[in-house]
A and B are shown apart, each in its own frame.
Chain A
Amino acid sequence: MLAIEKAVGLVATPSVLISVFIASVFGMLVGAIPGLTATMAIALLVPFTFFMDPLPAVGAMIACSAMAIFAGDIPSTLLRIPGTPASAAYTDEAYAMTRNGQAETALGANLMFSAIGGLFGTAVLIVAAPALAEVALQFSSFEYFWLAVLGLTCAIFIGAVSPLKGLISLFIGLLVSTIGLNNPAGVPRFTFGYTELMGGIEFIPAMVGLFAVSEVLRAMVHGAIDLPMTQRKIGNLFANWGKMVKTYWRQQLRGNTLGTAIGILPGAGADIAAWVAYALSKKMSRTPEKYGKGHVEGIIESTSANNAALGGAWVPALVFGIPGDSITAIVIGVLFIKGLNPGPTLFIYNPENIYAVFLIFILANLFMIPLGWAAMKGAGYILRVPRRVLMPLILGFSIVGSFAVNNATYGIVIMLVFGVLGFLMEENEIPVAPCILGIVLGPLVEENFVTSMIKSNGSFLAFFERPIAGVLGVFTILVVLSPLIGMVVRRMRGPATKTA
């Protein structure tokens, strides 16, 4: 009980409340602007958190990501451009509703079910995380190695267009993480005599480059186009709330559960949750023929799922230090910088910090309703912000943010290099997210791998000898082989469907 009281005291300070509120507004704005993703919102926020205390910093990032994931639904509904990839699954459905003049129903459903989904995910986080932490205490380097590898493989093999290109991105990230002195042997690697590189690649400028500068370069190269809006006036958002909850509580619950479960899976986050939930909703629905023509049912299920996934993604992040998606990957990077190394010991030595994080989650999802209402009412203005003006401003912001981390121009150079890298990767359909996971998880994978190899005298079999390690190892290998298994199944089914 004492820890919870302490946690309330920690959260109820002006610095935490103000930073959570400002970050919420910021996340809402960035998420609502088409083409700016939730990850970019976090990337732009991180240089600020560098100057904050750990709790306001984490609180700001939680609030910002929750708002941005939700706000992505606004341009998705009104312009048919998903604000964040997590909204892409139901963009066509929501836009069809706008064309039928039902934008307020779609937006109202997004707002309410996002908030409920977020709270559901938080509830699971509160129950599951401490219980898992108990288990995690018994983990050795073998289990941590498999968990990290599992996180990385899930990121690549679940829902990726091309697993091969995801792998390439991952290995680029892992190689980047080996630069510098920070390795088990403590020798400088790939520094080529530059003292700046000794400390490794600064995580913050690299991330700002990959997620923000790459986007600026794309706008420069392809041109920054603004799009027209179909429905300008938004009516009463709360009109159908009661009716929707009553009619679609099953869909909501299913979306929440599925979303949280996918979020907990290391390496899979809100985007995948939304896609799976939409597909499942269509399959289970009594009226699947209405899907795609402006039917609220699928929207409810998938918007419930993507916000619930956010809470779920924090379970492996806090308990094992394994990110559930690229946003938690960034947050874990920041936690390490702050000296708050995520892992089971966090629950034992600083339970009040964990409870405080839980409280901020609840707070953020409650803030979402008034702020989301304001953003939807102001959508006409937010969506009209011209990208031609916005993109250079983002560039300027990125430059100053990357400089501020060490007060050195070196940070800007890193940002630029990774900006160009991110641009080239995305232009060639190589996803960026596995790369950032690789950069964050690289040191963890290497340390646990080398430690385990030394412990077992180089026998790889030892990785499967402990029971949990063995299960995790086999599961990881199954995930890796899943595209192959899928191919075989399709081959076997192929002739059968042709004859049918």
Chain B
Amino acid sequence: MVKSDIIIGLILTVLGVAVILHAQSFPDIPGQEYGAAVFPVIAASALAACGLLLAFKALRRRATVPEGVDVAHSMAGITPAGWLKGLATIALVLFYCLFSDQLGYIIAMGLVLVGGMMLLGVRWWVAILISAIAIFAIHELFVVLMRVPLPRGTIIPF
């Protein structure tokens, strides 16, 4: 927890300062002292202050914790395979964003669902079967009932 708190604290401080600097470019309301920049600057200053405090508190704790021993941090327990699965999940969503217009909802969503289930160790035929049912159910619910124009795809239009 100690090391990550220092890193997060510093990231938040930098973020806060960046927001404060960026907010200087906001135009004022003519004739008023309090315009668009006031609130973001207050929130960002507070964020930066909290970030510094978090890092500072972690640094002080570090002095009392023996070298190399970090208090349990849930991210420390993540295996490389776990990280890869997380990244693969993000990639699946990005894939849907990029290609659902061309592939259409059915194929793109099929790949997301089957891919996601296989990442978690579901057998391929179970994954395909359940995904097919889910795709049909979502289609009925959103397209038929709520008239949401889910992408139909340009390659094989449904």
**Distance (Å) between the CB of A236 and the closest chain B CB?**
35
How far does the Cβ of A424 sit from chain B's closest Cβ, in whole Å?
A: 9
User: Roughly how many angstroms separate A311 CA and B96 CA in the complex, as a whole number?
Assistant: 40
For window 108-130 of B, CB contacts with A under 8 Å fall at 109, 112-113, 115-117, 119-122, 126-127, 130
Min distance, Cβ A52 to any Cβ of chain B, angstroms: 9
The answer to whether the Cβ of A420 comes within 8 Å of any Cβ in the partner chain is yes
With contacts A164-B57, A392-B113, A427-B75 taken as known, whether A175 is within 8 angstroms of B86 at the C-beta atoms is: no
Within 8 Å of chain A (Cβ to Cβ): is B46?
yes
A388, B122: Cβ atoms under 8 Å? yes
Q: Is the CB of A403 within 8 A of B150?
A: yes
A-B contact count, CB below 8 Å? 178
State whether B47 touches A168 (Cβ < 8 A): yes
Q: How far is the CA of A392 from the CA of B121 in the complex (A)?
A: 12
B36 touching A184, Cβ below 8 Å: yes
Q: Is the CB of A221 within 8 A of B51?
A: no
The 0/1 profile, CB within 8 Å of B marked 1, for residues 376-390 of chain A is 000000000011110
Q: When A167-B46, A453-B34 are in contact, do A389 and B122 touch as well, CB less than 8 Å?
A: yes
A189 and B26 contact, CB distance less than 8 A: yes
Known: A171-B46, A220-B120, A400-B150. A454 touches B34 (CB 8 A): yes
Q: Is B22 touching A190 in the complex (CB atoms < 8 A)? A: yes
9-residue interface stretch from A289-297, A352-360, A407-415? A407-415
With A220-B89, A388-B121, A454-B34 as contacts: A396 and B112 at CB distance below 8 Å = yes
A-chain residues with CB within 8 Å of residue B101 when the two chains form the complex = 409
Contact of B89 among A395, A397, A446 (CB under 8 A): A395
Q: How far is the CA of A356 from the CA of B92 in the complex (A)?
A: 43
Which of A165, A183, A221, A449 has a CB less than 8 Å from the CB of B86? A221
* B50: contacting residue among A168, A222, A412, CB under 8 A: A168
- Of all chain A residues, the one with the shortest Cβ separation from B8 is A428
Chain B positions 80 through 112: 1 when the CB is less than 8 Å from some CB of chain A, otherwise 0:
001101101110111011001100010001001
Min distance, Cβ A139 to any Cβ of chain B, angstroms: 20
**Contacts A174-B43, A221-B83; A396 near B38 (Cβ below 8 A):** no
Residues on B with C-beta less than 8 A from A407 are 148-149
Interface contact B39-A404, CB-CB below 8 Å: no
Taking a contact as CB atoms closer than 8 A, the residue among A221, A386, A450 that contacts B38 in the complex is A450
A220 cross-chain contacts in B, Cβ below 8 A: 82, 85-86, 88-89, 116, 119-120
User: Which chain B residue has the least Cβ–Cβ distance from A411?
Assistant: B97
A404 touches B120 (CB 8 A): no
- Do A164 and B40 have beta carbons less than 8 Å apart? no
Q: How far is the CB of A46 from chain B (nearest CB, A)?
A: 13
Interface majority SS on A: helix, strand, loop or mixed? Answer: helix
A217, A387, A403 pick with most chain B CB within 10 angstroms: A403
Closest to B12 in A: A168
User: Please, which residues of chain A bring their CB within 8 A of the CB of B78?
Assistant: 221-222
Contact of A185 among B29, B44, B89, B127 (CB under 8 A): B29
Say yes or no: is B154 at the interface (Cβ < 8 Å to chain A): no
Pairwise interchain contact B142-A400, C-beta atoms closer than 8 A:
yes
Residue A391 interfacial (CB < 8 Å): yes
Q: A223 at interface (Cβ–Cβ under 8 A)? A: yes
Check A416 for interface membership: any CB of B closer than 8 A: yes
Q: Which of A189, A404, A419 contacts B148, CB < 8 Å?
A: A404
A178 adjacent to chain B (CB < 8 Å): yes
**B53 on the interface (CB 8 Å rule)?**
yes
Q: Give A173-189 as 1s and 0s: 1 = Cβ < 8 Å from B's Cβ atoms.
A: 01100100001110101
Q: Mark A44-56, 1 if CB is under 8 A from B, else 0.
A: 0000100100000
Q: A389-B122, A412-B93 are in contact. Are A168 and B39 (CB under 8 A)?
A: no
Question: Closest residue of chain B to A453, judged by CB?
Answer: B34
- Known contacts A389-B122, A404-B146; A412 and B96 CB within 8 A of each other: yes
A167:B50 contact, CB within 8 angstroms: yes
Interface residues of B in 31-83 (CB under 8 A from A): 32-36, 38-40, 43-44, 46-47, 50-51, 53-54, 57, 73-75, 77-78, 82-83
- Which residues B132-156 have CB closer than 8 A to chain A? 134-135, 138, 142, 146, 148-150
Are A393 and B89 within 8 A (Cβ)? no
Report the minimum CB–CB distance from A38 to chain B (whole Å).
22
Provided the pairs A164-B54, A388-B121, A416-B93 are in contact, do residues A178 and B138 lie with their beta carbons within 8 angstroms?
no
By a CB distance below 8 angstroms, the chain A residues around B135 are 396
* In the complex, chain A residues whose CB is within 8 Å of the CB of B50: 164, 167-168, 171
Contacts of A167 in B (CB 8 A): 46, 50
The docked-state distance in angstroms from the alpha carbon of A389 to that of B93 is 17
Partner of B138, one of A397, A413, A415: A397
Q: State whether A183 touches B39 (Cβ < 8 A).
A: yes
Q: Which residues of the partner chain B approach A420 to less than 8 Å between Cβ atoms?
A: 90
Q: Given A178-B40, A220-B86, A428 and B113 touching (CB < 8 A)?
A: no
A–B complex contacts, Cβ < 8 Å, 9 sampled: A164-B53, A189-B26, A224-B120, A392-B115, A396-B112, A403-B148, A403-B150, A416-B93, A453-B34
- Known A429-B1, A449-B38; 15 more pairs at CB < 8 Å: A174-B39, A175-B40, A222-B77, A386-B122, A387-B120, A389-B117, A389-B127, A396-B109, A396-B113, A400-B148, A403-B148, A416-B97, A428-B8, A430-B8, A450-B35
